[in-house]
Amino acid sequence: MTPFKSLLQVDKSSSTPVFLQISEQLGQLIRAGTLVAGQRLPGTRQLADLLKLNRQTIVAAYDEGMAQGWLASRAGSGTYVAAHFPEIKPQPLASTEATESGTGLAGTQPGYSFESLPYLIRPALTQSAGLHLDDGFPDIRLAPMDELSRAYRSYFRWGNPQTHFGYGDTKGHLLLREQLSVHLNETRGLRTNPDNILITRGSIMGLHLTSQVLLRSGDVVVTGKTTWAGATMNFQKTGATTRTVPVDAHGLDVDALALLCEHNGPVRLVSVTPHHHYPTTVTLRADRRTKLLQLAERYGFVILEDDYDYDFHYLSRPILPLASADQQGMVVYVGSLTKSVAPAFRIGYVVAPTALIDELARLRRIIDRQGDPMLEFAIGQLFKNGELKRHFRKSLRTYHARRDRICELLTTELRDAIHYDKPDGGMAVWARFDPAIDLGVLANQAVQEGLSFSNGLLHNPPGQRLNSTRLGFASSTEDELERSISIMKKLINR
């Protein structure tokens, strides 16, 4: 006899109705193999007496079990465990160690094999709650949250709800593409229309889609020796071969690129961050920009231009993107608003000839179908009413002052320990530490003092130790920058 009285426990203080508690517990007993297929259950009156419950509660529990498919009723005979369940043999309780390392959805390893790609193993950057000199993040305290909230609310009052909350254009919300086209044309000298723009969830998605469409196994991609690992990972995932050329005080060495194209076979794509090279922040010199475009036309390679922080330049004379001078359609221009507003707002974009944008949108459809229409509409509204332009101007003044302050502190407090070139724009300083300082140890010690910054390992080219890192200043107030440099100075002089 199955001891139903001890197996079924009822909690009358629970918010879950009693009949559902019984039905769920019966299902658990069947899944565990305690109750087997075809087993007869007690009659409703008998089980009600055992559990001291109203018979109608048991009737409701059995009805729910039948609705879920666990139970079956036989006319004139009673209620049974459904016959279509396979026999389940209860297993003894496994040890904690076996459970953690075992297979199954709750274990660590699946019952099938797959290839784990080592180049994908890379820590995700996050913003800490304490003091931080990060990779170059914006200060989310400056973001136009109230204005964005109002724009969100207007979304629910605007347009036809049936189309407004249904599937949208895979290229992104038309309002945002229209407004972004105007913004890019005005500020970057581009000549776009909305059909030249694909809205993505951050620039990394744009890089991924572009890599998947343009690259095939064996294609050659050229980057700087120091570069952004996020882009390189996407190139590697396509099976492409990556080659590097030096980066100096004037950006990517275009002469070295020309020699590579001439003597080492065809190049499919060249990845650059010309406005502020990542991670060193140097700007690609004008003559090199011209030569790079000429090389693209001569050798037929794609220029993938990642312009991640164009909105923040401090000399009032920004150099226009490569895309603005592209006459032959050789440039794919990728940008993002996450660095301009806040990382949580996953708005990026790809600008290219319409034939490529159409293909990217077709690929995006099987990955994400579409972006976030509500967020895209809200950001489009902020462009349209001028709020984002006001935010950019306010942030530019603030970040300019913070850049000047951190550079002053590095000069006065850490002159002998850190060498740097004052960046013309962007949101971080490329700090080159004295070789006597172990940057990894220093970063670990700083965490104990409430300060976080990167140990720079991600920026090291293979086989090299740069002992350098990015010290982001934009997300910290001047007071926070002073306290951060004070901690660093104390640890270095310890």
What pLDDT digit, counting tens, does each position of 75-133 carry?
888 999 988 765 556 556 555 554 445 556 667 777 778 888 887 777 766 666 789 99
Average the pLDDT over each of 100-109, 309-318, 353-362, 461-470 and give the range with the smallest value: 100-109
Q: Judge if 379 and 394 occupy the same domain.
A: no
Q: Is residue 100 part of a domain?
A: no
Q: Do 412 and 382 belong together in one domain? A: no
Domain limit, last residue, from 387, 403, 422:
387
Q: What is the 3-state secondary structure (H, E, C) of the chain?
A: CCCHHHHCCCCCCCCCCHHHHHHHHHHHHHHHCCCCCCCECCCHHHHHHHHCCCHHHHHHHHHHHHHHCCEEEECCCEEEECCCCCCCCCCCCCCHHHHHHCCCCCCCCCCCCCCCCHHHCCCCCCCCCCEEECCCCCCHHHCCHHHHHHHHHHHHHCCCHHHHCCCCCCCCCHHHHHHHHHHHHHHHCCCCCHHHEEEECCHHHHHHHHHHHHCCCCCEEEEECCCCHHHHHHHHHCCCEEEEECEECCEECHHHHHHHHHHCCCCCEEEECCCCCCCCCCCCCHHHHHHHHHHHHHHCCEEEEECCCCCCECCCCCCCCHHHHCCCCCEEEEEECCCCCCCCCCCEEEECCHHHHHHHHHHHHCCCCCCCHHHHHHHHHHHHCCHHHHHHHHHHHHHHHHHHHHHHHHHHHCCCCEECCCCCECCEEEEEECCCCCHHHHHHHHHHCCEEECCCHHHCCCCCCCCEEEEECCCCCHHHHHHHHHHHHHHHCC
User: Are both 169 and 301 inside the same structural domain?
Assistant: yes
**Mean pLDDT throughout 237-241?**
95
Question: Can you give the pLDDT at residue 219?
Answer: 97
Could you read off the pLDDT of 35-57 as tens digits, one per residue?
888 899 999 999 999 999 999 99
Within a domain: residue 93?
Answer: no
Q: Indicate whether 187 and 71 sit together in one domain.
A: no
* Residue 340 or 401, more confident: 401
Residue 98: inside a domain: no
Residues 467 and 374 in one domain: no
Specify whether 368 is located in the same domain as 481. Answer: no
pLDDT at position 105, please? Answer: 67
Average pLDDT of the residues of the chain? 89
- 339 with 404, same domain? no
CATH assignment at residue 335: 3.40.640.10
On whether residue 286 sits in a domain, the answer given is yes
Report yes or no on 88 lying in a domain. no
pLDDT at 68 exceeding the cut of 80: yes
Asked if residue 381 and residue 399 are part of one domain, the reply reads no
CATH number, domain containing residue 44: 1.10.10.10
**pTM of the shown model:** 0.77
Which pLDDT belongs to residue 167?
75
Check whether residue 290 and residue 353 sit in a common domain: yes
Residues 315 and 395 reside in one and the same domain: no
Residue 90 lies in a domain: no
Tell me the pLDDT band of 163, cut-offs 50, 70 and 90. low
397 and 382 belong to one structural domain: no
pLDDT at position 276 over 80: yes
Domain boundary among 62, 81, 100: 81
Residues 378, 249 share a domain? yes
Among the residue ranges 125-129, 287-291, 450-454, the one predicted with the least confidence is 125-129
Instruction: With respect to residue 114, please indicate whether it lies within any of the assigned structural domains.
Output: no
Q: What is the CATH number of the domain that holds 460?
A: 3.90.1150.10
Residue ranges making up the domain that contains 77: 4-81
